[in-house]
Amino acid sequence: MVEIIGAPFDLCGAAVGSRLGPAAVRMLGLVSALHELDVEVCADSDALDMLHESPTDYSTKVRHAVEAYRAVSDAVVASLERGNLPLVLGGDHSLSIGSISGALRHYGTENLAVLWIDAHMDLNTMATSPSGNVHGMPVAALTRLSSGDRPTSRPTGSSWSLAARQSGWDAWQTILDEVVPEGGVRHDRTGWVGLRDVDSGEVGNYQKLQSTTAWTMHQIDDRGIAGVIDEIDAWLVRTGATRLWISFDVDSLDPLHAPGTGTAVYGGLTYREGHFLAERLHSLLNDPSRPYKLAGLDVVEVNPMTDEAGETAKIAKEWVCSLFGKRIMGALP
Ligand SMILES: [Mn+2]
């Protein structure tokens, strides 16, 4: 049974507002839409309280963030122990540090693969991030990349203060020591799809990882979404993973369809490419001949504050429905 876990937290995104994402997606009838697909939803609650204010001090933000990751991780572990399938509604993408850590705690590093559906790699560390926004770093945390030595000076040209850099570094250590389990997500079981905005620090970090796999928009253009999905399936079989966590950032979709998100980039998945990906993943995840099953998923970065008439929340809800078996055109005889 699906267990919805709201994570109304956004202090690590580009702008505040995605803390309202879970409310918007729920308000559009996610639970009843899943019921219509004969998917049982057994619980729908939040893992943490929504802050009513937005602290601007960096050390306060990361302190709240680490608490949010712990709370989401615990909620995911509790859900998996009950035999449920957690659906985590964000919030900014840094929350996946919590959700996927929870899945790692339950399933173990040997069993879990992660598919990161996103315009961005989210692979910066505190050492390479241009912004300090942790929503650009979750994959680096989950694959346990180091942020280097604790900074003692402010690099030239950086907009971060030294105090902020140090509190970021301290938070990173806490995340690696106390949130992400030993082993983390195995590098060869980390895959991205939909990439089109990767910065130079991330390219350097990507080169440090071994055997990770990325399908950029260029490859989707080249091989078609169906061809890329076949490659994702072959990759998952090759990894030997028995469980897949899907982390869906709504900015993977083109901003024509999903304008209400923190870091929109043109040239994303079209409406049909996005749904086709979800529909095919549904078929694969429910195919008894496939060795992997769904562990859980994140749906993140829906920001109702910058959305256009709820379009982004709507497509996020529809995407989840496609992943759980909906066919947009219905089933023809
Ligand atoms: Mn992301």
pTM: 0.97
In a domain, 227, yes or no: yes
C-alpha 300 – ligand 1 centre gap (Å): 8
Give the structural domain span for 198. Answer: 2-150+164-323
pLDDT at position 160 is 82
On the question of a cis peptide bond just before residue 168, with omega within 30 degrees of 0, the verdict is no
Residue 170 annotated as catalytic:
no
Residue 118 annotated as catalytic:
yes
C-alpha 138 – ligand 1 centre gap (Å): 8
C-alpha 330 – ligand 1 centre gap (Å): 31
Phi, psi angles (nearest 5°) of residue 161: -80, 160
Q: Could you give the CA distance from residue 29 to residue 33 in angstroms, rounded to a whole number?
A: 6
Phi, psi angles (nearest 5°) of residue 199: -95, 170
Report pLDDT digits (tens) over 196-206: 999 999 999 99
Tell me which residues have their CB within 5 A of the ion that is ligand 1: 93, 118, 122, 249
Is the pLDDT at 29 greater than 70? The verdict is yes
Residue 301 annotated as catalytic:
yes
C-alpha 292 – ligand 1 centre gap (Å): 23
CA 219, distance to chain mean position in Å, is 21
C-alpha 199 – ligand 1 centre gap (Å): 13
32 three-state secondary structure: helix
pLDDT at position 158 is 72
Name the band, by pLDDT with cuts 50, 70 and 90, for residue 329.
low
Q: Could you give the CA distance from residue 246 to residue 280 in angstroms, rounded to a whole number?
A: 13
In a domain, 180, yes or no: yes
Which of 271, 250, 267 has the alpha carbon at shortest distance from 259? 250
CATH number, domain with residue 168: 3.40.800.10
pLDDT mean across residues, the chain: 95
Report pLDDT digits (tens) over 35-47: 999 999 998 999 9
Residue 122 annotated as catalytic:
yes
Residue 52 annotated as catalytic:
no
C-alpha 226 – ligand 1 centre gap (Å): 23
Residue 257 annotated as catalytic:
no
Q: Could you give the CA distance from residue 195 to residue 121 in angstroms, rounded to a whole number?
A: 7
pLDDT at position 130 is 86
Is the pLDDT at 287 greater than 70? The verdict is yes
Report pLDDT digits (tens) over 151-176: 998 767 777 889 999 999 999 999 99
Which of 10, 251, 254, 318 is an active site residue? 251
Average pLDDT over residues 253-274: 97
Report pLDDT digits (tens) over 80-124: 999 999 999 999 999 999 999 999 999 999 999 999 999 999 999
Is the pLDDT at 6 greater than 80? The verdict is yes
- As for how many domains the chain has, the answer is 1
In a domain, 157, yes or no: no
Q: How many Å from the N-terminal Cα to the C-terminal Cα in the chain?
A: 29
In a domain, 35, yes or no: yes
Which of 138, 280, 264, 270 has the alpha carbon at shortest distance from 217? 270
Which of 136, 75, 132 has the alpha carbon at shortest distance from 106? 75
pLDDT at position 210 is 78
Q: Could you give the CA distance from residue 181 to residue 142 in angstroms, rounded to a whole number?
A: 9
Supply the DSSP string of 142-172, one letter for each residue.
Answer: HTT----SPP-SPPTT--S-HHHHHHHHHHH
In a domain, 330, yes or no: no
Phi, psi angles (nearest 5°) of residue 240: 80, 5
Report pLDDT digits (tens) over 290-309: 999 999 999 999 999 999 99
What whole-number percentage of the chain has pLDDT above 70? 98
Which of 127, 132, 174 has the alpha carbon at shortest distance from 149? 127
Mark 306-330 as b/e (b = at least 16 C-beta within 10 Å). Answer: bbeebebbbbbbbbbbbbbbbeeee
pLDDT at position 331 is 65
Which of 10, 46, 92, 122 is an active site residue? 122
Average pLDDT over residues 226-255: 98
pLDDT at position 330 is 63
Average pLDDT over residues 235-249: 97
In a domain, 158, yes or no: no
Residue 201 · residue 269 · CB < 8 Å: no
